[in-house]
């Protein structure tokens, strides 16, 4: 009898020791990495970030370096050494793919592959910065609206509706016209564009955060928090915000993708990042010349594919996160 | 219900006022006297017109007074004169709205016709190969930059195969009449519509799928199955109708997006619609038209949300507004 009890006890102990205890975060991670598309997405993003952040250090050429060609000897000359004035010198435009220029040169004689890296830097930076701005504004205002309710909520939500009604692309077009009017140099234009986009994008975040906080506020644990008499700021940041976090991470991931897409559209239309700086959007712009569209796929295809892959990756990750965060999606 | 609608309309008017203030403020941010700025180098502008524009935009007054006078004119339907077309903004919009509405309308119809069945199929076979394929294609569509996709389509179908026109609305130097003209017009719309549908269908499709999944796990669907209804009836009668409610709301919200999306697509394919005019307006500094166009879209957005909210109440008897 005692023997049996001891055995039972031992079995119980072993069972408890072998039990793997996972935190909710670990469970989410596990569910996330089971999603193959999401893993592919992570892979693409890591590759793109490395390619754009570190790549330029390994490239022998500069972002707006122009290559010349000696028309007599057919020898390529770099911008610094070129005897530009000489009659036998020409710009090495639309060079084919070669070991020197992996993707050839564009219509101005610049290395496409190198510009792809610099362009990616801009596109990714814009994506991250705009999302950070929209999250800061959106979470603060959405949180305030959801927590306090009443007249504050009313005012903030009307503001959200106003921003919702403004058509984004046409407004960016006007903004660009204004920036042109002020004569802002291309170098600083990018910062203005990031701020304007962030300010225009916050409404969606605010709406979602408010909705979440509104329902979380009625939860029993919030009553308990209320009963302990802690400060309001602590209630918000310790008890409410962490519970909205999954939603925020999700919005952030999806929005980085859509911001990159929007920025590329603006650059393509010629109202975003301007010459001589590269961005994936304004590199595809070369396609407007029908000769390039027809014969020089190496100039406009790679940047377009880069945009597609990056946005696709963020969307895959977002989709995977959505499934991973949602406990109902268990298989 | 009536009270709710009235309240919503009241709020909408308020929001529209806010939008106009914001837009007016942005337009006033243009440095210096922007009428002089914008008209410089444009021979079509007479001094009288310049004066008239200053009055319309209240540039002879302060920002607040200027806004009030702009608002008064706008309420009477006077949004000023477009610089490019030398016509009132309202008549320019009326003139170019045709292609935009047909492009957006046809695309939206196709999107709905594609998204609903595919979304339902994906939801019914969740985690199957079909589901993965449909969702992956939807996400690829969302991620496609429209200008790049348009370029690829043009390269393949217009330049490579030569079966469809590159851009424009009608074939130049070919004066088709009657049915031939219509056919020619249709040919020019094929690629824009493909771009619109492929880049736009994903959002709706995923929305339908998510809602269908939710409905399929509801108790009443289990009940319907338990009492032995054929699967076709369970899906068609019990599940689908309940998915339709949020989908209706989503579709209402899509309409204004179609109009602002038209800016890019029309620009890419050289269709003479509102969006393309807006794009030209930016390059040539036609601020009056841009203001009018933006207000038009804002109005559409508000009407769209309002209609879909009211429809929501009509379709779903559980919704009660107080």
How many CB atoms are closer than 10 A to CB A14? 10
With CB atoms and an 8 Å threshold, state whether A176 touches B294.
no
Tens of pLDDT, residues B39-54: 666 666 677 777 777 7
Cβ burial of B198 (10 Å; 0-12, 13-18, 19+) is buried
pLDDT tens sequence across B161-219: 777 777 777 666 666 777 777 777 788 888 889 998 998 888 889 889 888 888 888 88
For residue A131, the tally of other CB atoms under 10 A from its CB is 25
d(C-alpha A37, C-alpha B48), whole Å = 63
Determine, for residues B155 and A294 on separate chains, whether the beta-carbon distance falls below 8 Å. yes
Tokens of B19: 């939008």
> Rounded to whole angstroms, how far apart are CA atoms B116 and B205?
6
What confidence tens digit (pLDDT) does each residue in A248-304 have?
888 888 889 889 988 888 888 877 777 677 888 888 887 777 777 777 777 788 888
Q: Is the dihedral of CA B147, B148, B151, B152 positive or negative?
A: negative
What pLDDT score does A149 carry? 82
The pLDDT value recorded for residue B89 is: 84
A233 vs chain B: nearest CA distance in angstroms? 31
Residue B121 is assigned to a structural domain of this protein: yes
Percent of chain A with pLDDT strictly greater than 90: 8
Beta bridge partners of A105: A111
DSSP state of A76: E
Interface-testing mutation among A120, A154, A167, with chain B (most B C-beta atoms within 10 A): A167
Res A35 pLDDT > 90: no
Please give, rounded to a whole number of angstroms, the shortest distance from the CA of A317 to a CA of chain B.
Answer: 11
Query: For A112-325, CATH number?
Result: 1.10.3720.10
**Which of the four pLDDT bands, split at 50, 70 and 90, describes residue B239?**
confident
Of the residues B147, B155, B260, the best mutation for testing chain A's interface (the one with the most A CB atoms within 10 Å of its CB) is B147
The pLDDT of B65-85, averaged and rounded, is 79
Closest alpha carbon within chain B to A312: B143
The arrangement of strands across the sheet holding A68-70 comes to: A75-77, A68-70, A89-91
Q: Is B38 part of a structural domain of the chain? A: no
Alpha-carbon distance A325 to nearest alpha carbon in chain B (angstroms): 15
pLDDT over 80 (residue B278): yes
Contact status, residue A64 vs residue A329, Cβ threshold 8 Å: no
User: What is the complex's ipTM, to 2 decimals?
Assistant: 0.81
Is B60 among the domain residues? no
Asked if the structure places residue B266 within a domain, the reply is yes
The pLDDT value recorded for residue B114 is 92
**CATH number of domain containing B120:** 1.10.3720.10
C-alpha pair distances (Å), B93 with each of A46, B17, B275, B291: 46, 21, 10, 12
Across B9-19, average pLDDT: 87
- Report phi then psi at A61, rounded to 5: -110, 160
Determine the pLDDT at residue A331: 47
Q: Is the pTM above the cut of 0.80?
A: yes
Question: What is the reported pLDDT for A254?
Answer: 86
Mean per-residue pLDDT for A184-208? 84
Average pLDDT, chain B: 81
pLDDT given for residue A75 in this prediction: 66
Between A158, A170, A312, which is nearest B14 by CB?
A: A158
- The pLDDT value recorded for residue A74 is 65
d(CA A320, CA A42): 10
Q: What is the pLDDT of residue A89?
A: 67
| B212 closest CA partner among B189, B185, B244 | B244
Q: Bigger pLDDT: B52 or A204?
A: A204
**Partner residue facing B143 (CB), from A168, A257, A290:** A257
Residue B17 has pLDDT above 50, yes or no: yes
Instruction: Tell me the C-alpha distance between A289 and A116, whole Å.
Output: 19
At A61-97, the pLDDT tens digits run: 776 777 777 666 666 666 666 566 666 666 666 667 7
Q: Min CA distance, A63 vs chain B (Å)?
A: 22
Average pLDDT over residues B91-112: 88
Domain extent listing, chain A: 65-109, 112-325
Q: Determine the distance in angstroms separating the CA of A124 from the nearest CA of chain B, rounded to an integer.
A: 15
In this complex, the residue of A166, A178, A308 whose CB is nearest that of residue B143 is: A308
Instruction: Write the residue in B15, B143, B155 that is nearest to A162 by C-beta.
Output: B15
Instruction: Mutation target for A interface from B145, B259, B287: give the one with most A CBs within 10 A.
Output: B145
Contact B294 A171 (CB under 8 A): yes
H helix intervals, chain A: 2-18, 24-34, 36-53, 55-58, 112-148, 150-165, 168-182, 186-216, 220-228, 232-234, 241-268, 280-284, 290-295, 297-325
> What Cα–Cα distance (Å) separates residue B297 from each residue in A289, B19, B100?
32, 11, 12
Q: B290 to each of A172, A176, B304, how far by Cα in Å?
A: 11, 12, 21
Task: At B16, list the tokens.
Answer: 């529209």
Q: How many domains does chain B have?
A: 1
Residue B63 lies in a domain: no
More confident residue, A62 or B19: B19
* Confidence (pLDDT) at A119: 85
Whether pLDDT at A46 is above 90: yes
* Cβ separation A165–B155 shorter than 8 A: no
Give chain B positions within 8 Å (CB) of A311. Answer: 142-143, 145
pLDDT band at B38 (very low <50, low <70, confident <90, very high): low
Q: Decide if B107 contacts B196 (C-beta within 8 A).
A: yes
The span from the CA of B206 to the CA of B222, in Å, is 23
pLDDT at position B214, please? 85
Quote the CA–CA distance of B259 and B293 in Å, as a whole number: 10
| Structure tokens, A51 | 């390619």
Cβ distance of B145 and A307 shorter than 8 Å: yes
Q: What are A250's two structure tokens? A: 């999700």
Q: CA–CA distance from A206 to each of A130, A138, B144 (Å)?
A: 15, 4, 27
Classify residue B41: in a domain, yes or no: no
Residue A34 — very low, low, confident or very high, per pLDDT cuts 50/70/90? confident
| Domain span at B87 | 2-30+79-315
Return the residue in A37, A155, A157, A170 with the most chain B beta carbons within 10 A, the one to mutate for interface testing: A170
- What pLDDT does residue A111 have? 78
The minimum CA-CA distance between A22 and chain B, rounded to whole Å, is 25
Q: How far is CA A10 from the centre of its chain?
A: 53
User: Using the beta-carbon criterion (under 8 Å), do A177 and B267 form an inter-chain contact?
Assistant: no
Instruction: Inform me whether the pLDDT recorded for A132 exceeds 90.
Output: yes
Q: Which residues of A149-159 are buried (b: 16+ CB within 10 A; e: fewer)?
A: eeeebeebbeb
Which pLDDT belongs to residue B320?
Answer: 60
Q: How much is the mean pLDDT over chain A?
A: 81
Lowest mean pLDDT among B54-58, B203-207, B279-283: B54-58
- Here the contacts of A240-245 (C-beta below 8 Å, separation 24 or greater) are A240/A143, A240/A147, A240/A213, A240/A216, A241/A139, A241/A143, A243/A212, A243/A216, A244/A139, A244/A209, A244/A212, A244/A213, A244/A216
Do the domain assignments include residue B70?
no
Residue of B nearest to A292 (CA): B155
Contact between B121 and B130 (Cβ < 8 Å):
yes
Note whether residue B321 is domain-resident.
no
Residue A297: CB atoms within 10 A of its CB come to 14
Q: A320 to chain B nearest CA, in Å?
A: 12
Instruction: Count residue pairs from A and B with Cβ separation < 8 A.
Output: 136
Residues 6+ apart with CB under 8 A from A78: A61, A65, A67, A68
């Amino acid at each position: 009898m005692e023997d049996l009890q001891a055995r039972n006890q031992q079995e119980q102990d072993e069972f408890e020791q072998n039990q793997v205890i996972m935190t909710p975060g670990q469970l989410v991670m596990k569910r996330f990495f089971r999603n193959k598309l999401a893993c592919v997405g992570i892979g693409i993003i890591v590759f793109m970030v490395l390619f754009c952040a570190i790549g330029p250090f390994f490239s022998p050429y500069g972002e707006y370096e122009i290559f010349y060609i000696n028309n007599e000897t057919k020898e390529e000359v770099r911008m610094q050494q070129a005897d530009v004035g000489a009659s036998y010198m020409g710009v090495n435009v639309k060079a084919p793919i070669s070991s020197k220029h992996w993707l050839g040169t564009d219509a101005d004689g610049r290395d496409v592959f190198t510009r792809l890296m610099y362009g990616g830097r801009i596109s990714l930076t814009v994506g991250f910065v705009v999302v950070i701005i929209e999250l800061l504004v959106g979470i603060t205002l959405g949180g305030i609206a959801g927590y306090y309710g009443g007249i504050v909520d009313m005012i903030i939500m009307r503001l959200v509706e106003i921003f919702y009604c403004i058509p984004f692309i046409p407004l960016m077009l006007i903004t660009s016209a204004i920036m042109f009017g002020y004569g802002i140099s291309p170098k600083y234009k990018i910062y203005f564009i990031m701020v304007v986009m962030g300010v225009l994008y916050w409404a969606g975040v605010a709406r979602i955060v408010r909705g979440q906080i509104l329902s979380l506020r009625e939860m029993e644990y919030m009553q308990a928090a209320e009963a302990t008499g802690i400060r309001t700021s602590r209630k918000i940041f310790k008890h409410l915000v962490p519970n909205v976090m999954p939603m925020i991470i999700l919005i952030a991931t999806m929005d980085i993708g859509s911001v990159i897409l929007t920025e590329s559209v603006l650059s393509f239309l010629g109202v975003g990042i301007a010459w001589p700086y590269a961005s994936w959007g304004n590199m595809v712009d070369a396609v407007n010349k029908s000769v390039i569209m027809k014969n020089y796929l190496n100039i406009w295809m790679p940047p377009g594919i880069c945009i597609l892959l990056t946005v696709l990756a963020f969307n895959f990750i977002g989709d995977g996160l959505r499934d991973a965060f949602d406990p109902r999606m268990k298989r | 219900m009536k009270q709710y609608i009235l309240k919503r309309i009241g709020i909408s008017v308020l929001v529209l006022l806010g939008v106009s203030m914001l837009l007016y403020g942005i337009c006033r941010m243009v440095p210096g006297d922007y009428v002089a700025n914008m008209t410089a180098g444009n021979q079509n502008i007479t001094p009288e017109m310049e004066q008239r524009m200053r009055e319309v935009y209240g540039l002879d007054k302060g920002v607040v007074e200027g806004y009030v006078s702009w608002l008064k004119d706008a309420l009477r339907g006077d949004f000023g004169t477009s610089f490019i077309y030398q016509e009132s903004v309202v008549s320019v919009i009326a003139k170019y709205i045709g292609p935009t509405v047909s492009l957006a309308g046809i695309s939206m119809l196709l999107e709905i016709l594609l998204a609903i069945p595919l979304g339902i199929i994906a939801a019914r076979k969740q985690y199957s190969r079909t589901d993965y394929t449909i969702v992956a294609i939807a996400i690829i569509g969302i991620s496609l930059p429209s200008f790049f996709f348009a370029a690829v389509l043009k390269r393949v179908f217009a330049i490579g195969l030569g079966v469809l026109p590159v851009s424009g609305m009608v074939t130049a130097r070919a004066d088709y009449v009657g049915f031939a003209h219509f056919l020619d017009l249709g040919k020019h719309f094929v690629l824009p519509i493909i771009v619109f549908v492929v880049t736009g269908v994903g959002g709706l499709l995923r929305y339908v799928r998510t809602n269908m999944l939710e409905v399929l796990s509801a108790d009443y669907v289990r009940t319907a199955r338990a009492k032995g209804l054929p699967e076709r009836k369970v899906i068609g009668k019990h599940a689908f109708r309940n998915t339709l409610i949020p989908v209706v709301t989503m579709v209402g919200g899509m309409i204004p997006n179609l109009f602002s999306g038209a800016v890019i697509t029309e620009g890419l394919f050289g269709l003479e619609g509102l969006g393309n005019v807006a794009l030209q307006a930016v390059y040539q500094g036609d601020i009056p038209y841009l203001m009018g166009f933006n207000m038009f879209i804002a109005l559409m957005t508000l009407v769209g949300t309002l209609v879909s909210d009211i429809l929501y109440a009509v379709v779903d008897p559980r919704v009660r507004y107080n």
